[in-house]
Amino acid sequence: MASQDWFDKDFYAVLGVSKDVSEADLKKTYRKLARQYHPDSNQGDAKAEAKFKEVSEAYAVLSDPEQRAEYDQIRAMGSGARFTAGGAGAGGFEDVFSMFGQGRGAPRGGAGGFDDFYSVFNQPGGGFGTGSFGRSSGGFRGFGGPTRGADVTARTTLDFVTAAAGDTITLQGEDGAPFKVKIPAGVADGQKIRLRGRGRPSPDGGEAGDIVVQVTVRPHPVFTRDGLNLRLSVPVTFTEAALGATIEVPTLGGEIVKLRVAPGTPSGRVLRVKGRGITTAKGTGDLLAEVQIAVPAHLDDDARAALERFREFEPKENPRADLVAKARS
């Protein structure tokens, strides 16, 4: 911090507090302002970033009892004081020394002279000559404000149905203590859930870090996710696909819905059931049933004879003719 700043800047006014503000109220006020103007919450806002630096600078001084006392003493001289190279007028170096009980115009190296001046303002973590300000614990470097606590990573594996429906589960922290996590409905495999302010504490009074829970979802034997939609393959017989049929299809909750298979439905066609997919705060998906024609592995004599008879009457076009033509083009 430049020397003149201690005269010119009213740190109490910057934070909007009185000069007799308690440490607890000072910290509470600072945290509120830091959250309001933090660059992470104001991307690209130069005014907010400047305000955040100003607030952090003020708190860095006022939160340290020794620096606050020194600041109050210096400010008591009035904003008209200046750190000038010489002169016996009001506001010279002599006034600064006199504030700390020193004689006016004491030479450097003598009792109460420049050496004391440097010892006051060049303390570790202090103002001049160190390139930093604030607490000597290293919490406030430059204008960055208090150090944010570190994030803590946790992992959990959920079954498919629990992930879709949501739940509150209990995990174990790094320190062995249990903590609860609310799993939102529709959480996806690989998604991260952030529990703000529940990570490691700040070493210097700043915000605590977060707990970041990484979710793994076990595959379902029937359903797969496609965004908010649920997909499943539905086997149908040749006659159902050729002649048409009404079939039953399961939903994720276990309820059965009926679907109409139109005559001549090919394998791979997708039938949609509206509103039976994954539900999240962003909306609800659909159930997508993909038709797969099931070919019987074993035929008795009557069935074989019937199919042989059908082959005599089925259309004679080659279903692969278009495929061959495209491959040759």
**pLDDT for position 67:** 85
Q: Whole-angstrom distance between the N-terminal and C-terminal Cα of the chain? A: 76
CB 199 within 8 A of CB 208: yes
Q: Span 180-209, mean pLDDT?
A: 91
Contact (CB, 8 A) for 12 and 105: no
Side chain identity, residue 133: F
> Tokens 């008795």 map to which residue?
300
Residue 27 DSSP code: H
Whether 34 shows a pLDDT value over 80: the answer reads yes
Of the candidates 291, 312, 308, the one whose C-alpha atom is nearest the C-alpha of residue 241 is 291
CATH number of 3-121: 1.10.287.110
Instruction: Please indicate whether the domains covering 152-217 and 224-328 agree at the CATH topology level.
Output: yes
Where exactly are the structural domains of the chain? 3-121, 152-217, 224-328
Q: What pLDDT sits at residue 78?
A: 55
Which CATH superfamily, name and number, covers 152-217? Urease metallochaperone UreE, N-terminal domain (2.60.260.20)
**Residue-wise pLDDT tens digits, 99-148:** 444 433 333 344 444 343 333 333 443 333 333 333 333 344 445 568 88
For 60-71, write each residue's pLDDT tens digit: 888 888 888 888
Of the ranges 88-92, 116-120, 309-313, which one carries the lowest mean pLDDT score? Answer: 116-120
Each as own residue / partner, the long-range contacts of residues 260-265 (CB below 8 Å, 24 or more positions apart, any chain) are 261/236, 261/291, 265/236, 265/241, 265/291
Find out if CATH 2.60.260.20 is the number for domain 224-328: yes
| Cα distance between residue 91 and residue 88, in whole Å | 8
The single-letter code of the amino acid at 169 is: I
